[in-house]
Amino acid sequence: MATTKPRAAARPAPTRSARWTVPPVLVRQLRNGVVESVHRGDIVEVDAAGRMLRLLGDPDRVVNLRSTVKPFGLVALLRAGGRQEFDLTTEELAIMASSHSGEDLHVRTIQAMYRRIGIPQGVLATGTEGMPLDALTAARLARDGERPGPLRHMCSGQHSVLILLAKMGGWELETYWQEDHPAHALYREAVADAYAVKADRLVTGIDGCGILTYAFPLREVARAYAILADPDAVPNGDPRTALAKHLVTVRDAMRTHPELVAGNRDRLDTSLMKAAGGRVVSKSGMEALRGVGILAGARGEGSPASGIAIKVEDGDGYERGTWASSVEALVQAGVLEGQALRMLSRYHRPPSLDPHGRLAGEAVASFELAPVGELTG
């Protein structure tokens, strides 16, 4: 591909949420029966046609996608022919849709890809603040006097999509992260197409890793994940049908390699996909957002696909609110029960332990995700 002049960056659209309603309580933090704090938020389940199925709170709450955008941004590389150009493995695709924990497995996967393609690791511009996410890996690095590099950053896979696009286009690698870079424009267009909007109407902001993030109503996040779960369920005439084969590729890579999408310890996305046996695809984003695609047949033979989006209002620095509400939402949606739910017990009711290992408190989900028909009937 020939060198192309960088395109002008998309400007933020003026649309913003016109109101701010107080979200309902999703999770209560209990200590010996006393409520110490609460986590409020909004949850919506939507099918691929955009019909709301279950709801609690405000489905039009505008949220920044943060890392929930990653499966859809990867489509930019796939439709440019990147998988064939670079002979990408399903492991490499999974990590480019990830927010990985910075474990050695994640680093080796990206390093091997860079060596094979001929990309210098020094072009990665994620920074290293707060990385790696995995506590054991961070402790080992500190013990050995090793400073974590950008490959350990949870967004190094996402940034690799942009770097590979730049490599394909013959564009400057070092500036891939700038929003007027042509690789960034391709990524932005893929996100716009996945959400069926014009690229120049995207509401944008700067993500924590330095590249753009995008804002949408919560119901549209849920719909995007419903489409990721079953791209063939997109109604005829919807332009997103053109993305179907690429979304299937991304979805199946994530389901096949859940440990690359997040990590092996204390990461709900990985644990959820493993416990559910590939019946869901899950991706979290910072500030307590999660999108979950529920595949067709996940609730029994013939059951349709859908998507659930969960947003905890307070950003949930402890993760307990997002963990408990995400698992409980999938229980109420009929996806989790029995052994799968038992495997997720520590996420369903996240415990707080004292120094002696005794249970001192726990986060308990306490809400009803009502079918929309019951709300309007």
Assess contact for 250 and 257: CB atoms under 8 A: no
Is 70 contained in some domain? yes
Is 17 contained in some domain? no
Token readout for 283 is 């991706």
Give the integer Cα–Cα distance in Å for 323 and 316: 10
Is 346 contained in some domain? yes
Assess contact for 273 and 102: CB atoms under 8 A: no
Name the 3-class secondary structure at 46: strand
How confident is the model at residue 72, as a pLDDT?
Answer: 98
Is 7 contained in some domain? no
Is 116 contained in some domain? yes
- pLDDT (tens, 9 = 90+) of the chain, 377 residues, equals 444 444 444 444 444 545 678 999 999 999 999 999 999 999 999 999 999 999 999 999 999 999 999 999 999 999 999 999 999 999 999 999 999 999 999 999 999 999 999 999 999 999 999 999 999 999 999 999 999 999 999 999 999 999 999 999 999 999 999 999 999 999 999 999 999 999 999 999 999 999 999 999 999 999 999 999 999 999 999 999 999 999 999 999 999 999 999 999 999 999 999 999 999 999 999 999 999 999 999 999 999 999 999 999 999 888 999 999 999 999 999 999 999 999 999 999 999 999 999 999 999 999 999 999 766 55
Is 8 contained in some domain? no
Token readout for 221 is 């996040």
Residues 6+ apart with CB under 8 A from 53: 45, 46, 47, 306, 371, 372
Give the integer Cα–Cα distance in Å for 211 and 207: 6
Provide the terminal-to-terminal Cα distance of the chain, rounded to the nearest Å: 56
How confident is the model at residue 376, as a pLDDT?
Answer: 57
Is 261 contained in some domain? yes
Domain that holds residue 83: 25-376
Is 326 contained in some domain? yes
How confident is the model at residue 19, as a pLDDT?
Answer: 65
Residues 6+ apart with CB under 8 A from 139: none
Name the 3-class secondary structure at 219: helix
Strands 280-285 and 289-294: antiparallel
Residues 6+ apart with CB under 8 A from 155: 67, 99, 126, 207, 208, 209, 211
Total structural domains in the chain?
Answer: 1
Token readout for 151 is 């490959």
Residue (of 70, 101, 73, 49) closest to 282 by Cα position: 70
Give the integer Cα–Cα distance in Å for 232 and 242: 10
Token readout for 98 is 């990830």
